[in-house]
């Protein structure tokens, strides 16, 4: 089981065009958060997990509107690509919890899943 925390406000995935990636403030915040997730994951996971993976994401924020659970999860999964797993297609189970509170942070737990359907 792998656990890590990303300090600061969770940033949901943003829709971007190629040009918008460089001009949209929301896109820039998302890209920075995604990179921060990757660095935090890298600090606890020396090599990607093989096979099917299950993930739990718990995100806390205070003040303002929060992102949708699916967009928070997407930001975390994208940030973990190539670090916790080779590709987020390996994620077969996902639990996302959103909370209001401080300190703002995102907690991630990942583990090898038992089996996949199919």
**What's the confidence (pLDDT) of residue 115?**
65
Half-sphere exposure of 65 (CA within 13 A, CB side): 3
User: pLDDT (tens digit, 9 = 90+) per residue, 7-48?
Assistant: 999 999 876 555 555 567 888 899 999 999 999 999 999 999
pLDDT tens, residue by residue, 39-90: 999 999 999 999 999 999 999 999 887 789 999 999 999 999 999 999 999 9
- Quick one: fold of 2-112? 60s Ribosomal Protein L30; Chain: A; (3.30.1330)
**Domain residue limits, the chain:** 2-112
Mean pLDDT, all residues of the chain: 89
Q: What is the pTM of this model?
A: 0.87
Q: What is the pLDDT of residue 117?
A: 53
């Amino acid at each position: 089981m792998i656990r890590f925390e990303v300090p600061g406000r969770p940033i949901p995935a943003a829709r971007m065009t190629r040009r918008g990636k460089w001009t949209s403030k929301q896109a820039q915040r998302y890209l920075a958060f995604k990179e921060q997730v990757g660095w935090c994951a890298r600090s606890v996971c020396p090599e990607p997990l093989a096979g099917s993976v299950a993930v739990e994401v718990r995100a806390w924020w205070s003040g303002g509107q929060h992102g949708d659970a699916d967009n928070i999860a997407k930001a975390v999964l994208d940030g973990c690509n190539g670090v916790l797993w080779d590709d987020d297609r390996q994620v077969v189970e996902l639990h996302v919890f959103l909370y209001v509170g401080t300190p703002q942070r995102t907690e991630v737990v990942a583990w090898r899943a038992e089996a996949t359907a199919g």
